[in-house]
Amino acid sequence: MSIHLRPATRADLSQILAFIRELAEYEKLRESCVANEADLDLHLFGEHPKAEVVIAEWDGIAAGFALFFHTFSTFLGQPGIYLEDLYVRPELRGKGIGKTLLLHLARLAQLRGCGRVEWSVLNWNTPSIGFYESLGAKPLADWSVFRLSGEALENLASGKHN
């Protein structure tokens, strides 16, 4: 049994969307998942890609993925990698697939001159938190994640904020 990582291609769009939907189900956020193949195609493989995907295969079967993009830290003066999604199918967990994906991102970060790899995790997701901490990752206790989306984003963009 072996793990193989490869960059995603357009041919993987349906698999990527399936992984995203499975992750949304796991995170109890299915109703928030409105992604579709057309949007993924545009933003992952279009003229100006906004993110990258690595597919993990277990003996030739799609087992999981990591979707990530570059950020920039003004304090470090360096780029970083933000891991938007890391997912491994439940029946294939515990085989080192998630660790292999994170190892790949850590090495990619170093090759690209990045100062860090960051991601968010839901507070209730203790299996993932324990996994990340076992790899040396630390939670940022003094930081809160803010999100501007939907109507609030539209209002601010159009100058209709309070």
Residues 53-99: tens digit of each pLDDT: 999 999 999 999 999 999 999 999 999 999 999 999 999 999 999 99
In a domain, residue 105? The reply is yes
In a domain, 143, yes or no: no
Residue 1 pLDDT > 70: yes
Interval 15-34 mean pLDDT: 96
How much is the pLDDT for 70?
Answer: 98
Residue 72 located in a structural domain = yes
Judge whether residue 162 has pLDDT over 70: no
| Residues with Cβ within 8 Å of residue 72, at least 6 apart in sequence | 78, 79, 80
Please indicate, yes or no, if residue 138 is contained in any of the structural domains. no
pLDDT of residue 160: 86
26, 82, 87, 132: the catalytic one is 132
Residue 12 belongs to domain spanning:
3-119
How many residues belong to the chain?
162
Q: How many C-beta neighbours within 10 Å does residue 139 have?
A: 12
What average pLDDT is seen over the chain?
95
Domain count, the chain: 1
Rounded distance between C-alpha atoms, residue 109 and residue 86, angstroms: 16
Strand arrangement of the beta sheet that strand 3-7 belongs to: 3-7, 52-58, 61-73, 78-88, 117-119
> Has residue 161 been placed in a domain?
no
CATH number assigned to the domain comprising residue 8: 3.40.630.30
pLDDT above 70 (res 123): yes
pLDDT of residue 108: 98
Mean pLDDT of 26-44: 96
In a domain, 154, yes or no: no
Is residue 136 assigned to a domain?
Answer: no
Strand partners, 85: 67
Catalytic, 132? Answer yes
